[in-house]
Homo-oligomer: A and B are copies of this chain.
Amino acid sequence: MFLEMISFESDYNNGAHPRVLQHLVETNAEKTVSYGGDVYSKRAADKIRAACDCLAADVFFLVGGTQTNQVVIDTLLRPYEGVVAADTGHISLHEAGAIEHGGHKVLALPHRDGRVDAADLRAYVRAFYADENHEHMVFPGMVYISHPTEYGTLYSKQELTDLAEVCREFGMRLYLDGARLGYALASYETDVTLADIARLCDAFYIGGTKVGALCGEALVFPKGAPNRFVTMVKQHGALVAKGRLIGVQFDALFTDDLYLTIGRHAIDMAEKLKAVLTEKGVPFYRKSPTNQQFVVLENSRLDALKENLGYSFWEMADDEHTVIRLATSWATDPADIERLRELF
């Protein structure tokens, strides 16, 4: 990948949002206790609990998304359980086997525009328990969803509620990967709030790395964390000594609605981008209401664009076409979208 003037290759190709960085700078000289016991981590957790309208929640700060997925799935599943996910889910495809490394199978269901469908899920779990040999199979113990999904699509409140209902019915936990949650919350087309998520899920994380932080994800257990959770985080090599690094950043992100502000700018830019691409007749691979847009280009055209456009390869559509991803972020400059118009 080559980085050019017009950069849409990802939402983690820059540093931190200036207000996040500023908070790191202004707190740098202070001395704090380690391993997340510092005042900034506590303050950030309080603000997150308030934003989730869930005072009983336990909040932890981890460094990255795959790490958070691995730790949550390992600690919420029993040894004989696996995690159900869309076959396009991040844990199904792009975590190098991190979930299996922890001993658990990913039970993949065919995705529906990137989503797990509640009816599919119920059918799968019913068939599992109806199978006379299910004692020899991996029990479905959790459902993993990403919101936005890997295709930028979203769950509606009704869809989330339906999934939570199936989970309750069969004793499964519901876990939401919110690596780009800011863009979901800010989408023009969502009816799902942070409070809804906290009410419906057993665990979820609010992504920082891809939403304005240098690093870090805020993991929320609305009904409380597993016993000895910090020890298990340590055991996974995931406990940060200077925990304030993430606490300070989330303290900034959840002050004066910065997290939503970041999400909104990216969404505004994505809508402009969609308008330009539509105007130019570029076909979309999937309809996405969030900051990631997937379009299909002829390979020859892509070759011509490469020098001036930063994008991410997604997959081959066919021998002559490629699916690419264009992503916006807090750092996207509206001028770049105008320049993109000229490129196409």
Contact = CB atoms under 8 A, between A and B. Distances in A.
Contacts of A67: 237-238
B209 A242 contact: yes
A127 B315 CA distance: 9
A12 B96 CA distance: 32
A210 interface: yes
Nearest to A1: B33
B98 A100 contact: no
Contacts of A240: 63-64, 215
Interface stretch (A48-56, A128-136, A192-200, A271-279): A128-136
Interface stretch (A22-30, A181-189, A253-261, A284-292): A22-30
Interface stretch (A76-84, A113-121, A153-161): A76-84
A308 to B, nearest CB: 14
Contacts of A299: none
Given A21-B24, A64-B237, A135 B230 contact: yes
Contact of A132 (B14, B97, B313): B313
Contact of A231 (B24, B68, B80, B105): B80
A96 B31 contact: no
A209 B244 CA distance: 12
A340 interface: no
A310 interface: yes
B15 A138 contact: no
Contact of A74 (B28, B64, B79, B245): B79
Contacts of A300: none
Contact of A82 (B74, B100, B138, B244): B100
B29 A98 contact: no
Contact of A95 (B31, B66, B75, B234): B234
Q: How many A residues are at the interface, by size bracket? A: 35 or more
Given A95-B235, A231-B96, A310-B31, A214 B245 contact: yes
Q: Which of A24, A25, A32, A234 has the largest count of B CB atoms less than 10 A from its CB?
A: A234
B232 A79 contact: yes
A12 B210 CA distance: 26
A76 to B, nearest CB: 11
Nearest to A228: B80
Contacts of A12: 34, 241-242
Contacts of A25: 21, 25
B33 A14 contact: no
Contacts of A210: 241
Interface of A: 1, 3, 7, 9-10, 12-16, 18, 21, 24-25, 27-34, 63-71, 74-75, 78-80, 82, 93-98, 100-101, 103-106, 127, 130-133, 135-139, 209-210, 214-215, 227-228, 230-232, 234-242, 244-245, 310, 313, 315-316, 331
17 contacts: A14-B32, A15-B24, A15-B30, A25-B25, A29-B331, A31-B310, A31-B331, A63-B63, A63-B240, A69-B237, A80-B97, A96-B235, A98-B234, A101-B103, A136-B234, A214-B245, A215-B240
